[in-house]
Structure 1
């Protein structure tokens, strides 16, 4: 199995897990200290962006940005539309978007560093 295929499989697994966690009833969530919720969103979407770049290195970054930010928006919409005691949050969307931008930026920087040394 190549690194690209491993990243694709991990990306699908991560999306399934993140979606499941995001749609859990609000009462099932553990209490969080000091706004770590936003750090969790940032880290999760940074990881998704990095996995997407490894899985499809030739794809334009703006496509990854649109798809992953759209996915984050979809989660927020489902939380608002559902009856699990969850609400949509602009703060979560901002954290998701910043995570995607950081992940794509980090992978671009690493990619340029790798090609500079070859």
Structure 2
């Protein structure tokens, strides 16, 4: 199997034994991103809109390091500690994606790393 590690200094560095993303052929598997500022490795301050935008910015940076962009994402998983944020996340997502939207699942979880309220991982296909 041919797999390539993808890294971006514009996204938070991995905080465990994993890669920001792995490319295998034309498919890129992006690890989960929480709303960490890559410069400080601290959670961004602000409401859920600010946090969601930071997650998308982190995903975008990793997509770009792999030679793509958010438009190449075909599968997105969103983890929320409170599903009450679901409508807000949907509104922010519409600012980053157009039809056809990626396939997606949203899951409520009891906790996320660093006490984040949101995390997303994705699968991207390179053209």
Shorter-chain TM-score: what band? 0.3 to 0.5
| TM-score normalised to structure 2 length | 0.34
Q: Which has the higher contact order (CA 8 A, sep 6+)?
A: 1
Return the index of the structure with the highest Cα Rg: 1
Q: Whose strand proportion is higher, 1 or 2? A: 2
| TM-score normalised to structure 1 length | 0.36
Q: Whose helix proportion is higher, 1 or 2? A: 1
